[in-house]
Every structure is written in structure tokens, then in C-alpha cells.
Amino acid sequence: MEDRYYATGRRKESIAKVWITPGEGQITVNNKNLDTYFGRPTAEMIVRQPLVLTETLGSFDIRATVLGGGLSGQAGALRLAVSKALLGSDPELRLPLKKAGFLTRDPREVERKKYGRRGARRRFQFSKR
């Protein structure tokens, strides 16, 4: 059996499951090519960041399943999962990935809406008369 590494990543409401195998650098997200799935150059750049940093851009095939949230959260979750999977393939990559902050889960979540208000913090318009 060939080497295959699995990892999960989360950001906001998104969950990414990633399998990486040695290959020629194809990235597939939900059975679609990376650029057709995201369609945004910034999201594609975010996903590729750990590969560019560790200089493994053309050496792994990545197959990912992403669910929940929006495109930005999905890209962040995918970046974390790819970083964790790369760590599984080569523990020497831990230091550069950690320094770049790619192994830290972004804890920011949307604040819940409060009762008696229009949103989490927004008040209704004040009327003096």
C-alpha cells in the first residue's frame, strides 16, 4: 500500500477532510478541481500556502472533502488540514508550519444573536420623540 496521510481542519462552520498521497500536485476538492471549486484566486492561494512554504507543491496529490460554512471558512479549514497532513508525512516540517501559524486552529466564531436586538450587538434605532 502506498503512503497516504489523513487530517481534518476546521474554521468557522467549515470542516475539511484531507487525504494526501505522493503524486504530481493535483488538488481535488469535493470531486472538482481546486480552481473550479473556489473560483477565487485568494482562496486558492490560502489552500496552497502550506505547500509553497514547505516546497512540496508538485510532490503530493490532495483529495479533500469540505462541508459547511462559506468559501473563506472552507479555504481556511482546508489550509489547516493540508498542514496537518503534511506534518504526518514529514515531522521535520513542524517548525516552519508552526512559525507561519498554519497549525493553529482559528478560534473566531460568529457571535450569536441576542434576544430583544436586531443582531449580536446591533440595537434598534433610537427615537427621542
**pLDDT of the residue at 3:** 87
**pLDDT of the residue at 129:** 85
The mean predicted confidence, pLDDT, of the chain is 93
All structural domains of the chain, each given as residue ranges with its CATH number in brackets, are 5-100 (3.30.230.10)
Between 59-68, 77-86, 116-125, the lowest mean confidence (pLDDT) is in 116-125
Q: Which three cell numbers stand for residue 56?
A: 512540496
| pLDDT level of residue 2 (50, 70, 90 thresholds) | low
Could you say which DSSP state residue 59 is in?
T
Chain centre to alpha carbon of residue 41: 14
Across-strand partners of 27?
Answer: 62
Query: Is residue 120 over pLDDT 80?
Result: yes
Query: Is residue 1 over pLDDT 80?
Result: no
Q: What is the mean pLDDT of residues 99-118?
A: 94
pLDDT tens profile 74-95: 999 999 999 999 999 999 999 9
pLDDT tens profile 16-59: 999 999 999 999 999 999 999 999 999 999 999 999 999 998 89
Do 69 and 9 touch, CB atoms closer than 8 A?
no
